[in-house]
Structures are given as C-alpha cells and as structure tokens.
Amino acid sequence: VSLQVLLSQVHRLRALDLLGRFLDLGPWAVSLALSVGIFPYVLKLLQSSARELRPLLVFIWAKILAVDSSCQADLVKDNGHKYFLSVLADPYMPAEHRTMTAFILAVIVNNYNTGQEACLQGNLIAICLEQLSDPHPLLRQWVAICLGRIWQNFDSARWCGVRDSAHEKLYSLLSDPIPEVRCAAVFALGTFVGNSAERTDHSTTIDHNVAMMLAQLINDGSPMVRKELVVALSHLVVQYESNFCTVALQFIEEEKNYPLPSPAAPEGGSLTPVRDGPCTPRLRSVSSYGNIRAVTSARSLNKSLQNLSLSEETGSSVAFSPGNLSTSSSASSTLGSPENEEYILSFETIDKMRRVSSYSSLNSLIGVSFNSVYTQIWRVLLHLAADPYPDVSDLAMKVLNSIAYKATVNARPQRILDTSSLTQSAPASPTNKGMHIHQVGGSPPTTSTSSSSLTNEVPKPGGSRELQRPSVSNVGVQYTPHSHQFPRTRKMFDKGPEQTADDADDAVGHKSFISAAVQTGFCDWSAKYFAQPVMKIPEEHDLESQIRKEREWRFLRNARVRKQAQRIIQRGISRLDDQIFLNRNPGVPSVVKFHPFTPCIAVADKDSICFWDWEKGEKLDYFHNGNPRYTRITAMEYLNGQDCSLLLTATDDGAIRVWKNFADLEKNPEMVTAWQGLSDMLPTTRGLARRVSIYLDRSKQGGAGMVVDWEQETGLLMTSGDVRIIRIWDTDREMKVQ
C-alpha cells in the first residue's frame, strides 16, 4: 500500500513517514520492505529537491544501509551520494539527521574505491571536518568514522586530509568526554597512518606525529579506546616493520642482559606459571593472562627458548626464572613458527621488557632512524600487552609476537640461496611495505562479531554450575541521545565490540597477526545502533516491562532496609555477644566488604573473591580476579549498590577491574571493564633495587597497595596508595579528571 501511495505526490510525505515507521521496527522489517521492491522507489526519490522529504529519506536510507550495505554501488552509480553530501553540509538540518547522513556516507565509502573517489570529489573531507566540533556526540563519532573510512587504503584522500590538516583537527577528539567519540578518532587516525602508498620524509614525519599523539591514550579509562589504540599502532608497525624489528631485537637483548631476581619460590621450592596453576581454573577471556598465550593443553613452549615446560595435562609445578628467557636464533626456528603456532614472547618476557625499559637508557638503539618514536611506540605496546582488560592485552600480544617472530627469523644466519630465493625473501622496505605485508598476511581482514566469543565470563571453581555464556545480542544497541522524544543514555562501562578470542591461531600462524587478527569491529558494532528501533520507548521506561518491575522491587527493598536500620540506630543497643556468621574462607582474607542492601559479604584473598550470605551462612560464589601472581587485591567497592550492583576490585599494581553477575545463581561473573587506575604503581619509599625486583611477590612486602573511594552521587572514583598522588576518575566519561 505504501508503495502505491508513494507514486502520489499529494500523499508522498505521509507515505514516507509510514514507511520509515515500519522500517524502524527492526532488521526484519527492512528485509521485508526490500523483498517487495521498495529500493528503486526510494532511490528515485533522491533526485527530488523538496527539503521536506530530506529527513524522511535520510532516515529510510539509514535503516536500509544498516541492514544491507551492498546498496552502496547503486547509490554511487545514480549519484545518490551527492544528495547526502548536500544534507550533511546543510547547517539547518537537525544533528540527528546529519548523524544518519554521516553514517550513510561512511557506508558508501567503506571498502569501496569508487565510492571513496566520488565522495572525495564531492568535498566530503572538508564537510566532515566542519562537523567535528558539533555538540552532538553521535555526530562527532560518525563524522570521525566517515573520515577514517574515506582515506583507508586511499592515498589521494589521505593527502587531501593532510592539506586540510585533518589529522591535527582530529586530535581534539582524543580528549572528548564520550568514549565512543575518542574511539572513533583513534580509528580515523589509525587508518590515516595505515596507508600502504610510497613513503616520503613528509609522510613519515606526519605518521610519527600522529603516533605520538595516539600514545597519550595508553592509560585511557575505556578498554574500547585502548583496543582501537592497539589496532591504530599496528598500522604504524606494518608501515615501518623493519624499524620495529630492529627495536624488538634490541629490547630482547636488553632484557637478556638485565638480570632480575627470580620470584620467591612458594612452598615446595617451585613456581607455578602465572596462568597455569594446577589449582587455578582456566580463565579463558577474563584474566589478562588467560588468553595471551596460544599454548593450549597439548602444547609446550620450546625448552631452548625459555627452559620452561608448561604441562597443563599433568598440572605439575615448574621451576621458572625470568633470567632464562631468551630468543636465540636456534630456538626461533621452531618456536613461533607458523607450523607450531606458538607465541615467541611469553607474558613474563614482555612484562619484564616493559619494566626493564623504564630503568634502562637503551643506548644501543642508535642505529635506528627516528629512534625515539619507534622505541616509545614499542614501549606503549609492551604496556598494552600487560593491560588488565584481556581483549586489549590479546591484541597487543599479537602485534608484539608478530614482530618478534619476524625479527628473530631475519636475525638468523641465512644459508646461501639461489637468485630466485633471494628475490622472494628480500626484506620489505618502507616503500613496498604494503605489498610485502599483503603477501605475507593473506587476504584483507574480515571482522568477526560472532556472539559465541563475545563474553568475558569467569568459570567458577568447584564445578557446582554449568559454564554457560549469557547472550550478548543486545550489546552495543544503546548509544548517545538520538531522538529528543525518547532520549537514550550511553551505557556506562560499555565494553564496545569484542574480537574473536580463540586460543588457536589460523593456518598461516604469526604472519597473519597484524593483518587479520588485529581488529576490533568497532565501526560495525557502532552501526548496529541504526538497525535497532529508535522511536520505541526504552524498556527501562516502559511501565509494564520486566526491567522496570525489578527496579521498583529493589527501590521498595532499599526503603525497607533503611527503615529497619533507622529503628536499630534509635534503639541504641550495641551488644556484641551473639555470633552471627562464622565460616572458613577458601583463601586468607585480605579485604572484606558488606553489600549495603543485601545480606551479602564479599571476602577477597590474594587473587580471588568469595561471596557469603552472612544470614544463612552459605557460600554464594567464588571466582578469580585475574590479577598477576605477584600482585594482590587491596581494595573493593560496590558500585550502584541500590540497583544492579557492580563490584570494583583494585590491586597493588594499580589495576582496577569491575565485575557484574557475581553471587548470581543463574549467570557467571563477567568483567565489565578494567583499566590502570594508577599507572606503573611501584612502592615509592623503597630504593631502585627494590623497585626493579618486580618479580618478587609483593603480597608479602606489605604496604597499603592501592586504596579507592567511590562516590555514588557523582560517579567519581578516587584512587591512591603507595604513591604520592591522588587520582580522580570520572566513571561516566571513563577518563581521569585530575
């Protein structure tokens, strides 16, 4: 019926409105409309100059392209992109519709060279740069994504951006209060340095400046931003691979020549590897140490490289000394090769490299051009490889190990080869880097957003529950306000998209790490917003929804608890004769925290948390926090105690982790976010020798560790400890305030 009414100019406006409302019902409605032949009608209407049709046509096309992006070719062929360029440049259009237009243009230029050329000729870069300071955060986000896509693997657009100082104008978004906007800016700057065209001194200088600006986000509070930061820096690593290989070899040599004391051995005289204890359940993607090595149950690290055997099947303890870690040329021929699919650098090696470089001048790096830039970026990647959020550390480990593999292979003594072999094995220069990496890495990366791998759940010890993964089909649906009628608030601690986290690598091994494995899917995840209903009342505002009813129940419960507490205070009875709770905790308690409204008490030991019902005396839950062996939990806080509670844990290495679904009989605990609350927190009252002894078990050294204080009304988190500063974090913006 709507199709027939569209043919009538009198009722066309009403027909488009009805069509837009239908498409807003969801992807199924878009697919149904396309199947009955709506496409040629709405394509033809793009030739109309009527301003009143613009908002409706933009809305309809945003819905279509959110479900079926293959329409980009038809739009460019019929010059439909010019219509949307004029809408985006129209200052009188509402920000919501300009946001949808930016999304449409971002789809048109996505991996489509013809669309990139057409939009470049239509002055898209200049139009987008004018919108970067718009107060609407979703518009800023999609304008940045659009810029990142138009110059992705398209050198003409990159140089157009250079002439317009696009990269410098994007710098302001790196400190944007909205994490998604910061992430989009990192994406745009990452593709800006990721072009594989011929390098010049001017372009190299620009790349270095962009890289050093990106490096400032190393301690950003949002894991989504830090994941995109790893991907952006990996583009730089690809472009200047030979320089980074030189830096990697120097860092490896520095690590070998800087002996550090081994950790104090526990009882029994042997040490258990950080992530492979016989009594420690596997943390697949929760601990930042559970996934960063590709050694599964049947594999073992090469003895000649680390003198360490990780036998998970037998669960035996193994002696370990960081000083034994090396990357000799003989070992690199087997370890880290594509056939073995092993990581050449373990977490211990990388963590030691990261800390040794902080105390070492690395004077031997004089042979590297632009030494300071490559060295600093390598240090940033080392830092990110030890990130408390597992997805970030996984990505950084892949980049580091890819370069370490190539560096050690290239450093091996080579046999005399014939002419044809020499031609094939010639090292890549900065001018032919893109061709070399493409040959090595295979086909271009394809984003994986399979929900089967999009969790950060913790398997709970004891085997009392089945290890089930909750559905994450609703991840990434809500965003910044898009409709004034039904405003939507951005999710606090939104994790963003999550890459596939399989322990096993693909068939081509380490050589594909940088090309296919290092990606986040941030743009596709962001595009899901436009595929979901935006005119529907949010479920939390629906009086009949289950979420609303549960929230009302918690509100009444909290009022009842407050009233009961007030009566106890007025009675003034303070007898402590009756024992209420007595039980044995699985570990030695170090921190205890009562929930403000439920009879639940959280008891933390060195690296695990146990939940008890202190009224019934029952153990509710027990899971591992995922912090390294040489650290301990020193503080806990309940966030949003009056509603759906989160648990924040702080460890004495400065890391903060936030958990949900704890003490839940139906779900497994899941890490919501994690970040470095205090960067490189080392005891400041001790000498250099004590600080350099990083592998000593700090749980036995005493000290305050890390202390935190949560302010529920403002959402501010104060952090301090064995440092001389107090750092304040805004958890809504996921960035430090002071």
Do 81 and 211 fall into the same domain?
A: yes
Do 75 and 167 fall into the same domain?
A: yes
Euclidean distance between CA atoms 161 and 174, whole angstroms: 17
Pick the range with the lowest mean pLDDT from 59-63, 232-236, 553-557: 553-557
Domain assignment of residue 453, yes or no: no
Domain assignment of residue 232, yes or no: yes
Do 600 and 721 fall into the same domain?
A: yes
Pick the range with the lowest mean pLDDT from 70-84, 345-359, 480-494: 480-494
Read off the pLDDT band of 249 (50, 70, 90). Answer: confident
Q: Which of 162, 194, 218 is the last residue of a domain?
A: 218
Question: CATH no. for residue 151?
Answer: 1.25.10.10
Domains contained in the chain, number: 3
The reported pLDDT for the residue numbered 675 is: 94
Do 214 and 242 fall into the same domain?
A: no
Tens-digit pLDDT profile for residues 546-596: 888 888 888 888 888 888 888 888 877 766 777 777 777 787 888 888 888
Hey, which of 234-243, 283-292, 585-594 has the most confident mean pLDDT? 234-243
User: DSSP string covering 615-682, please?
Assistant: TTTEEEEEEE----TT--EEEEEEESTTSS-EEEEEETTSEEEEEESTT-SSS--EEEEEEESSTT--
Residue 259 has pLDDT above 70, yes or no: no
Do 524 and 667 fall into the same domain?
A: no
- Is the pLDDT higher at 483 or at 225? 225
Tens-digit pLDDT profile for residues 420-459: 443 333 333 333 333 333 333 333 333 333 333 333 444 4
Do 234 and 382 fall into the same domain?
A: yes
Domain assignment of residue 493, yes or no: no
The reported pLDDT for the residue numbered 480 is: 34
The reported pLDDT for the residue numbered 491 is: 57
Euclidean distance between CA atoms 566 and 560, whole angstroms: 10
Do 32 and 172 fall into the same domain?
A: yes
Residue 665 has pLDDT above 60, yes or no: yes
Provide the H-helix boundaries in 11-130: 12-23, 27-35, 39-44, 54-67, 72-77, 80-88, 95-108, 113-121, 124-130
Strand partners, 639: 646
Q: What mean pLDDT do residues 634-652 have? A: 90
Percent of the chain with pLDDT over 90: 32
Question: CATH no. for residue 628?
Answer: 2.130.10.10
Do 609 and 716 fall into the same domain?
A: yes
Residue with tokens 């931003």, as numbered in its chain: 225
Nearest to 299 by CA among 349, 350, 343: 343
Q: Which of 163, 189, 218 is the last residue of a domain?
A: 218
| pTM given for the model | 0.73
Do 48 and 186 fall into the same domain?
A: yes
679 φ, ψ (degrees, to nearest 5): -75, 135
Domain assignment of residue 536, yes or no: yes
Euclidean distance between CA atoms 354 and 387, whole angstroms: 12
DSSP SS3 for 190:
helix
Domain assignment of residue 395, yes or no: yes
Read off the pLDDT band of 519 (50, 70, 90). Answer: confident
Q: What mean pLDDT do residues 156-176 have? A: 93
Nearest to 342 by CA among 395, 284, 297, 299: 299
As given in the structure block, the two tokens for residue 328 are 């000799």
Domain assignment of residue 609, yes or no: yes
As given in the structure block, the two tokens for residue 20 are 């837009």
Parent domain of 349: 219-258+343-411+515-540
Residue with tokens 């500063």, as numbered in its chain: 725
Contact between 93 and 57 under an 8 Å Cβ cutoff? The reply is: no
Nearest to 734 by CA among 176, 300, 198: 176
Contact between 170 and 147 under an 8 Å Cβ cutoff? The reply is: yes
Beta strand residue intervals within 542-599, DSSP E: 591-594
What are all long-range contacts of 274-280, with beta carbons under 8 Å and residues at least 24 apart?
A: 274/347, 274/348, 274/628, 274/629, 275/347, 276/310, 276/312, 278/315, 278/316, 278/317, 280/624
Do 5 and 44 fall into the same domain?
A: yes
- By residue count, the chain amounts to 738
CA terminus-to-terminus distance, the chain: 59
Strand partners, 502: none
- Is the pLDDT higher at 438 or at 252? 252
CA distances from 291 to 391, 396, 421 (A): 8, 12, 37
Read off the pLDDT band of 485 (50, 70, 90). Answer: very low
As given in the structure block, the two tokens for residue 668 are 């497994």
Read off the pLDDT band of 258 (50, 70, 90). Answer: low
Do 520 and 600 fall into the same domain?
A: no
Who's near 392: CB < 8 A, 6+ residues apart?
223, 226, 227, 230, 288, 384
As given in the structure block, the two tokens for residue 677 are 């609350």
Classify residue 371 as exposed, middle or buried by CB count within 10 Å of its CB (0-12, 13-18, 19+). Answer: middle
Do 63 and 83 fall into the same domain?
A: yes
Who's near 294: CB < 8 A, 6+ residues apart?
341, 342, 343, 503, 504, 505
Read off the pLDDT band of 607 (50, 70, 90). Answer: confident
Beta strand 633-639 with 591-594 is unpaired
As given in the structure block, the two tokens for residue 365 are 């790096």
Tens-digit pLDDT profile for residues 189-221: 999 998 766 778 888 899 999 999 999 999 999
Domain assignment of residue 665, yes or no: yes
DSSP SS3 for 93:
coil
Domain assignment of residue 142, yes or no: yes
Other C-beta atoms within 10 Å of 709: how many?
Answer: 13
Other C-beta atoms within 10 Å of 200: how many?
Answer: 11
Euclidean distance between CA atoms 254 and 375, whole angstroms: 13
CA distances from 67 to 71, 320, 500, 532 (A): 10, 52, 22, 10
Pick the range with the lowest mean pLDDT from 219-228, 612-621, 684-693: 684-693
Contact between 522 and 183 under an 8 Å Cβ cutoff? The reply is: yes
